[in-house]
């Protein structure tokens, strides 16, 4: 699509200038997996759903383009934090220092090249001395740690650091489930599969389906199911459009949730309203929710996204979480 080409041209221009500390958008799809193999999710505590980034691209092959907005570069200004100033926080992940910045707790993404690269939350009083598992290469020092301390909106003051970081995958809530959208898919010809589906959709891009909220496939032995979620009242037209090209297993369901275009707009706009750094935002079209990873989740951030987009449309998680 034209928007894909424009986005890729923008990414190519950014890459030619090096690694800017600004906002980037990465198109995560199966055929781009090799280009993204050095990008790893940030790990932090109590969100153990490993491998979602890879799973989304593979399971959505030929049907879904998963767009993830990644924001790199630490906050350029002090972030407003409404929690009490003595609130103690904890976080897990890679701590990294290189020639471009001092010690930071990586947030959003970590590029797993050697040495790794990331941006994150500034650590005001970090010392590498006597810490286990520290590695240094080409002027970069890093290690995986569990940190406890206070955050004033401009930097994190470490009170305790231990290694290794607690296990878990940075997911901001995104947990792909590509199971069928209905319990009993309708079918005309059960023998067709991914090859017929790819041929059938060459002239029917998903965005041409009116009031489309989500679209994905479920590929299990002997059953290739196409799943479509549309707004209330739009299922008949969607079914007619698809059945003209696809006789295989089909689930078309109606749900009162944002359309695909509306949810993409929320994903792209959350940084402007949340009031602090958004390290990553991902739209789960199947559930009608945008998951956003911020530095700290507080009442101000929650109220801001609820007022702007409606209650429950944006779910926030924090790189730093209160210990009590």
Asked which of 237, 254, 271 is the last residue of a domain, the reply is 254
Domain boundary among 203, 237, 254: 254
Q: How far apart are CA 102 and CA 113, in angstroms?
A: 19
pTM summary value:
0.71
Q: Are residues 215 and 269 in the same domain?
A: no
User: Would you call 84 helix, strand, or coil by DSSP?
Assistant: coil
The tally of domains found in the chain comes to 3
Q: Is 184 inside any structural domain?
A: no
Average pLDDT, stretch 240-265?
94
Mean pLDDT (the chain, rounded): 77
For residue 185, the model assigns a pLDDT of: 95
Tell me the two tokens of residue 181.
């959208």
Torsion of CA 179, 286, 207, 217, to 10 degrees: -10
Do both 134 and 103 map to the same domain? yes
Residue 43 lies in a domain: yes
**Which domain, by its residues, includes 314?**
19-74+170-176+259-322
Give me the long-range contacts of 37-40 (CB less than 8 A, separation at least 24).
38/111, 38/112, 38/113, 39/109, 39/110, 39/111, 39/112, 40/109, 40/110, 40/111, 40/112
- pLDDT at residue 25 greater than cutoff 60: no
One domain for residues 64 and 101: no
Of residues 297 and 36, more confidently modeled: 297
Say if residue 90's pLDDT is above 90: yes
Residues 145 and 101 in one domain: yes
Three-state DSSP state, 88: strand
| 2 belongs to a structural domain | no
Which uninterrupted H or E stretch holds 10? helix 2-16
Residue 11 is assigned to a structural domain of this protein: no
Q: How many CB atoms lie within 10 A of CB 200?
A: 17
d(CA 22, CA 119): 10
Residue showing tokens 């695909």 = 260
Can you say whether the dihedral through the CA atoms of 3, 12, 62, 263 is positive or negative?
negative
């Amino acid at each position: 699509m034209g928007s894909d080409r424009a986005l890729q041209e923008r990414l190519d221009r950014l890459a030619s200038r090096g690694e800017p500390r600004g906002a980037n958008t990465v198109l995560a799809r199966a055929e781009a997996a090799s280009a993204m193999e050095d990008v790893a999710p940030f790990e932090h505590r109590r969100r153990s759903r490993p491998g979602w980034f890879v799973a989304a691209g593979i399971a959505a092959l030929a049907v879904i383009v998963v767009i993830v907005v990644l924001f790199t570069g630490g906050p350029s200004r002090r972030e407003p934090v409404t929690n009490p100033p003595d609130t103690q926080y904890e976080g897990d992940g890679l701590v990294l220092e290189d020639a471009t910045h001092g010690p930071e707790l990586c947030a959003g993404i970590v590029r797993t090249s050697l040495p790794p690269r990331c941006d994150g939350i500034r650590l005001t009083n970090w010392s590498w001395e006597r810490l286990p598992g520290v590695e240094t290469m080409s002027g970069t020092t890093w290690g995986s740690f569990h940190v406890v301390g206070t955050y004033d909106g401009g930097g994190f003051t470490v009170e305790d650091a231990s290694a290794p970081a607690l296990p878990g995958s940075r997911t901001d809530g995104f947990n792909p489930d590509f199971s069928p959208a209905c319990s009993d898919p309708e079918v005309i010809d059960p023998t067709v599969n991914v090859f017929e589906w790819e041929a059938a959709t060459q002239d029917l891009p998903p965005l041409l389906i009116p009031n489309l909220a989500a679209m994905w496939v479920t590929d299990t032995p002997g059953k290739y199911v196409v799943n479509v979620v549309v707004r209330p009242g739009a299922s008949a037209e969607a079914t007619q459009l698809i059945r003209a090209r696809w006789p295989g297993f089909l689930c078309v369901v109606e749900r009162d949730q944002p359309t695909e275009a509306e949810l993409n707009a929320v994903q792209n706009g959350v940084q402007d309203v949340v009031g602090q750094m958004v390290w990553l935002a991902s739209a789960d079209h199947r559930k009608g929710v945008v998951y956003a990873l911020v530095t700290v989740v507080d009442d101000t951030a929650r109220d801001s996204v609820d007022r702007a987009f409606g209650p429950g449309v944006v779910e926030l998680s924090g790189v730093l979480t209160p210990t009590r």
